[in-house]
Amino acid sequence: MKMGGKQDVVSFGPPVVLLGGFPLSMETDEFADMVADAAPQAWQRGLVVHRVTANGLDLTVGELLNHTAAAAVKPRSDSSQRANKNGLLGGDVAVWDVPVLFFSGIENDDIRSISKLIIAELFEETGQRAAMAKAVPPAIHKLAGQMFEEIRRDHTEAMAKLTELDSSRRG
């Protein structure tokens, strides 16, 4: 489903930004600060930043989002209160070949602002290109692990097509 397309929803789910497979060298608080800078109004309304753990991948997307939002420390003024370093659900935090930035409960303009900042920082620090997606009703009952794998696969295929297009233009 294309963001801003006919089937898109303005905002769906609890206000959460999930970091799937992001490098451990980048602290969760660093991402929370970027989110607070990029979308201050959403941040003030209680947006939560959370790293996906192995245990979270066994839940449905809806369970993961709801558990993350409910278990998060409720907001104070500093970012560390809404950035969970250790994983609310326990389990190891894995680094993936394609990190995924997953949004829930925030509007497209904020998604664009946040993703622009985080994706640029990730690329600058690691050379990795992150995928991004947002919560939509059809995905809410999928297993989180399946959903993240689909996002990663779609991103890899899209990047391969872009590389192929770029090569054909040069040649």
Q: What is the pLDDT of residues 88-97, one digit of tens each?
A: 455 678 889 8
pTM for this entry = 0.83
Give the strands of the sheet with 100-104, arranged side by side. 83-84, 48-51, 16-20, 100-104, 131-134
Strands 83-84 and 100-104: unpaired
Rounded to the nearest 10 degrees, how much is the dihedral formed by the CA atoms of 8, 100, 127, 87?
Answer: 140
| Whole-number pLDDT of residue 76 | 43
Task: Please state, in angstroms and rounded to a whole number, the distance separating the CA atoms of residues 32 and 34.
Answer: 5
DSSP reduced 3-state for 18:
strand
| Whole-number pLDDT of residue 37 | 95
CB neighbour list of residue 13: distance below 8 Å, 6 or more residues apart: 62, 65, 104, 105, 135, 140
Q: What is the pLDDT of residues 125-150, one digit of tens each?
A: 999 999 999 998 888 999 999 999 99
Range in 25-29, 43-47, 60-64, 163-167 with the lowest mean pLDDT = 163-167
